[in-house]
Amino acid sequence: MKVLVSLCVFVPLLALATAEEEAVLESILRDRSHIEETLRLAADEKAGDFAAALQRLMKIYHNSIRPMEQAYKYNELRQHEISDGEITSKPMVLFLGPWSVGKSSMVNYLLGLQDTPYQLYTGAEPTTSEFTVIMHGEKIRTVEGIVMAADSSRSFSPLEKFGQNFLEKLVGIEMPHKLLERVTFVDTPGIIENRKQQERGYPFNDVCQWFIDRADLIFVVFDPTKLDVGLELEMLFRQLKGRESQIRIILNKADSLATQDLMRVYGALFWSLAPLINVTEPPRVYVSSFWPYDYAPDTSHDLFKREEISLLEDLNQVIENRLENKIAFIRQHGIRVRIHALLVDRYVQTFKEKMSFFSDPELVFKEIVDDPDKFYIFKSILAKTNVSKFDLPNRDAYRDFFGINPVSSFKQLSAQCSYTGGCLLEKIERAITHELPSLLGSINSSKNPTLSSCEATGCGEKPKNRYRRN
């Protein structure tokens, strides 16, 4: 009887305690309404126009750029094969940084996953050991890495080249979320300076480079208490070279310090990163605390809120300009393919000119590929074509390229023509100078993206990275 009475008293008390805990929890949670407002998640998109422009972009790529890629084996030089999944993929936001700096917590905060069964695991110790891709899906489910790599409709098929050990460390999470309809998040394992790369069981730096090359926005997250820069972090920033316009540095957990200490940490962060970021314009640094709980008392609440909104505006700019950025990326890729084809054509032409009946083909071509400047290989490209010297690839790369692909296996550009398909060089030049700028201009002027005329769209104008801060 006493036990029964005790239970009758205990159950209401337990329910009351649970309700009080929930009320306390709600009181310390931060308001998230500004996230939806800044990212305009309630606004409807013109899905039809967007899909039509993507179809037009894929048609230009397959008809005008890909044939040149295949004819001159460009993918073996750059190791970057563009699939239909990559063209149609959503913008990718990549989170990088040391361990336990709040990368996973930031993803949870942006998606509102805190205290749900689907939140990314967080903790003071190194917690994320996988590359986690958070993407949109009709229902919440986990996708194994081997499934993601085997699905040709996704943009992750090329990851198979990093081996089965890596695929076991790759996981995808699908969920129905308004933000994930427009962007894909990638959470990465934290950098641990006392761990050698080979101990991970897969080429960590190479995998990071693959994601860096395809990311539209890169958040490099730091903790005020973990500003040490080691070899692995130095390697990471070397991999980020050339992608400075996509980098955003985040000094997270800023409310854990007093204002004076925060200013000192901010200066120390720049001091540590200055040798690693060799550019005249440093990346944008955001100082805030990106997690769902309210800021600590006696800290700069207004500053942190403004910094967070600025970061969300940057993210929204990438989402808004995703189609323009995709077109600019394909055009830049087409320019590189064209330069590669012109160089291979020049190597083939020089080889044929130097060959005689008694010449040894291997010795003749070895002399050419070892010293291309002697035969004006690169200078002739600059003199005869509209190519910038800053876009020319590394000379040494062609020694390795022709070591795998004999020069005799390539035809000259003048022979790459047909009565029905036209000439490969003319098609890729038309795509670079006419078709892609026309498509870009029609989007910017809110016209039908299927228009082929570029009289009013500024043909030949180089697309700009519109979300880069000037």
Measured torsion, CA atoms of residues 109, 110, 114, 119, in degrees rounded to the nearest 10: -120
Half-sphere exposure of 467 (CA within 13 A, CB side): 27
pLDDT of residue 47: 62
Q: Between vectors from CA 176 to CA 288 and to CA 220, what angle results, nearest 5°?
A: 30
Q: Name the phi and psi angles at 223, rounded to 5.
A: -105, 135
Cα 280 to chain centroid distance, Å, stands at: 22
Rounded Cα gap, residues 133 and 155, in angstroms: 11
**What tokens were used for 197?**
């790369």
Written as tens digits, the pLDDT of the chain (470 aa) is 444 444 344 444 434 445 444 444 455 788 888 999 999 888 776 666 788 889 999 999 999 999 999 999 998 887 777 888 889 899 999 999 888 888 999 999 999 888 777 788 775 555 557 899 999 999 999 999 999 998 877 889 889 989 999 999 999 999 999 999 999 999 999 887 655 544 678 888 899 999 998 999 999 999 888 777 777 788 888 888 888 889 999 999 999 888 888 888 888 888 888 778 777 777 889 999 998 888 988 888 899 999 999 999 999 999 999 999 999 999 999 999 999 999 999 999 999 999 888 888 889 999 999 999 898 999 888 877 778 888 888 888 899 999 899 999 999 999 999 888 889 999 999 999 999 999 998 887 754 444 444 444 444 444 444 444 44
Residue 463: what pLDDT? 45
